[in-house]
Structure 1
Amino acid sequence: MQKFIISKRKNGEYQFNLKATNGAIILTSEGYKAKASCEKGLESTKKNSEDDSKFDRKKSNNDKWYFNLKAGNGEILGSSEMYESSNGMEKGIESVKTNAPTAMIIEE
């Protein structure tokens, strides 16, 4: 089952990861100073993941593909892993669209 996992980083910030059914991390958030802010970012991720226009597709300097999911105000909610091809990136986006809206939330 797909799930969001909220965890605390070594620097004290909170973050969330969206994991697919197979356990792969498909989206990682920025760091948040407060847990409540992290939870708001997670809820915004659920909402915005249903809108294809919120996915910013990118190619890195080393020719890897990735995407950022943005909120309505343009802030980055989460970033993907690096993909070898644009097709792989598109599959990652589809996975976020499918998994994020109904993913359970787990705190570590």
Structure 2
Amino acid sequence: MSGWFELKQYGSGGFRFLLKSKDAQTMLQSDRYPCRESVDAAIGLFRKHCTSPGSYEKKIAPGGKSYFNLKAGKEVILVSHLYDSEPTRESAIEAIMQAGTSTRVELC
């Protein structure tokens, strides 16, 4: 198994998902969603687009660090955290493309 989705529920009832690697490291984190149905739909959209190299819009932040936007068409569905280098960002994208199709979802 290459990874899984971890759902975090907040006291307000909102949810967020984290994509975890096989060694339980957080690979990425979503924004908050108002309900379980919304976060489940977001995971489905993520799974659909995470394997397509063309869905990754690669960027450089003003401070020189690398990041990416994962897009569904023209819509940004997730913004990554900042990476120290472009090769590190590329490695992260490769790992996310593999782990992001996981059907395993755990509520924490």
Alignment TM-score, normalising by the size of structure 2 = 0.87
Tell me what 2:79 maps to.
79
- DSSP-derived class of the 1:48 partner: helix
Counterpart of 1:8 in structure 2 is 9
1:80 and 1:98 map into 2 onto residues whose CA distance is 16
Once structures 1 and 2 are overlaid, which stretch shifts more, 12-21 or 89-98?
A: 12-21
> Which whole-Å CA distance do the structure 1 matches of 2:101 and 2:14 have between them?
24
User: What percentage of residue pairs aligned between the two structures are identical?
Assistant: 25
Shift of 1:63: 1.1
- Give the match for residue 34 of structure 2: 33
Provide the rounded CA distance (Å) in 1 between the counterparts of 2:37 and 2:106. Answer: 14
Question: Deviations along 1:77-96, whole A, 9 cap, x unmatched?
Answer: 22323211000000010011
Q: How many residues align?
A: 107
Name the CA shift for 1:87/1:11 in 2 (closer, same or farther; >3 Å).
farther
**Which residue identity is paired with 1:98?**
Q
Partner of 2:65: 64
| Structure 1 gaps, min length 5 | none
**For residues 23 and 32 of structure 1, what CA distance do their matches in structure 2 show?**
22
Structure 2: unaligned runs, 5 residues or longer: none
Task: Kindly provide the amino acid, as one letter, of the partner of residue 29 in structure 2.
Answer: T
Q: 2-side partners of 1:68 and 1:103: how far apart?
A: 22
Cα distance change, pair 65–9 in 1 and its aligned pair in 2 (3 A): farther
Q: Give 1:18 shift.
A: 0.3
Aligned-residue Cα RMSD (Å) equals 1.7
In 2, are the aligned partners of 1:26 and 1:81 still within 8 Å (CA)?
no
